[in-house]
Structure 1
């Protein structure tokens, strides 16, 4: 069984929004994960598909079918927080933080899928 860990930083969505999509595909194979995420009309689901395809592309040398690649672990952590501000009345400013996410994906092959 082969495993590989992928880390994506500075994903421009909040961790809470990304976790909603991540919880649906945990411990699924890649083919099922793509099917589930295609039904969700959500920006975070689209970002997750992009990152899953990038990680799938880097393990092409394994020569394994999508049905045999398992998302063993997937985690979302807080990334950078950019401090920004909005102008308000009477010359005041209202601060807020733009939050970003870090995504960690651990892919592995099933025992039956090894070639």
Structure 2
């Protein structure tokens, strides 16, 4: 059975989130939660909360055990960019983009 949870408009660049996502893709959900608990990256806490949400969905909605769940698919998509201006020398301004991410996780029970 597939369990889905998603996190939208996360204020972390997709490139930085993919570093964490690639490390937990295909792993057991309990192992991934412990792994993310000890990461120093900024995106580790939101990703751990998303994984906890997906595990809670599996337990409450389908009566599945956390130990049997593994991460079947996890993806990071690019969200909208907030465009801002940074002051530079000689009265000029340069554009900067504050990037956002959409993270989607699919869990499946191993049977």
TM-score (norm 1): 0.87
Contact 1:24-1:36 at 8 Å conserved across structures: no
Match of 1:64 in 2: 64
Task: Give the gaps of 5 or more residues in structure 1.
Answer: none
Contact 2:4-2:106 at 8 Å conserved across structures: yes
Match of 1:98 in 2: 98
Contact 1:73-1:105 at 8 Å conserved across structures: yes
TM-score (norm 2): 0.90
Aligned partners of 1:88 and 1:10: how far apart in 2? 29
Q: Which moved more, 1:75-84 or 1:56-65?
A: 56-65
- The alignment yields a C-alpha RMSD, in angstroms, of 1.3
Aligned partners of 2:55 and 2:80: how far apart in 1? 26
Aligned partners of 2:44 and 2:3: how far apart in 1? 22
Task: Give the gaps of 5 or more residues in structure 2.
Answer: none
Aligned partners of 2:35 and 2:72: how far apart in 1? 16
Which consecutive aligned stretches of 4+ in structure 1 deviate over 6 angstroms post-superposition?
none
Question: How far apart are residue 58 of structure 1 and its match?
Answer: 2.3
Aligned partners of 1:38 and 1:6: how far apart in 2? 19
Question: How far apart are residue 61 of structure 1 and its match?
Answer: 2.5
Match of 2:29 in 1: 30
